[in-house]
Amino acid sequence: MQILIVSATSFEVKNLINELHFTQIDENFYNKDIENNSVDILITGVGIAFTSYNLTKALSRKKYDFVINAGIAGSLSEELNIGDVVQVKTEEFADLGIRSKDSFSTLFDMGFIKADKFPFTDGKLNGIDNKTTLLNGLKKLRGITVNTVNGNKEEIKKLKQKFNADIESMEGAAVFYICLMEKVPFAEIRSISNYVEERNKGDWDIPLAIKNLNDYCKDILDKI
């Protein structure tokens, strides 16, 4: 099986790379054969634009059976704990649209895109993976993807009201969109590093989030 792990930064998957002794092919690409599987790791860069370009380029070069988007994320829900590993089952582009003085309208709200035009369903991108049994133990959550992470109390409140999502990242919807368009099975796995609130890095625990994320990814690779 040909597997591609996609991460915004090498920092987020450094334990996986080091502990499983991946071979670095170039600055942003790693490979290792595990049992009968060829596993590649692609470092895309942070955000929608870099992820879109680098993932599309990777998929054009090689046919993959399964794509895993692995990274850390901020939680919009107080029901999640720092360090929790979750699977994101739906994604939305949360800042692609038009902002007025008091509100934000998506492209769907404005009628620029039909809410059910493929690959969207009711304005959302829904995950379709063929490895669901590997992820049975994870909470299945709703995600939003932004170009700018939120640290303003009022903006966060509006965001929660508009999208009713559980987690926020800067790449997830891009991976969903590309994999759905290219008909490649995929899953998004995120580990919670912080709550989406007024910026206070003292409350974050990125090392714990990265450790738990990498441990879970290693477990998946052991089972495939």
Confidence of residue 132 (pLDDT cuts 50, 70, 90): low
CB 76 within 8 Å of CB 159: yes
Contacts of 117 (CB under 8 A, 6+ apart): none
* Helix ranges, 8-47 (H): 14-19
CA distances from 154 to 72, 103, 151, 157, 158 (A): 24, 11, 9, 5, 6
User: Is the link from the previous residue into 119 a cis peptide, with omega within 30 of 0?
Assistant: yes
State the fold for domain 2-223. Answer: Rossmann fold (3.40.50)
- State whether the Cα torsion 155-156-161-164 is positive or negative: positive
* Helix ranges, the chain (H): 14-19, 48-61, 153-163, 172-182, 206-223
Quick: pLDDT tens for 48-106. Answer: 999 999 999 999 999 999 999 999 999 999 899 999 999 999 999 999 998 887 888 99
What are the extents of the domains in the chain?
Answer: 2-223
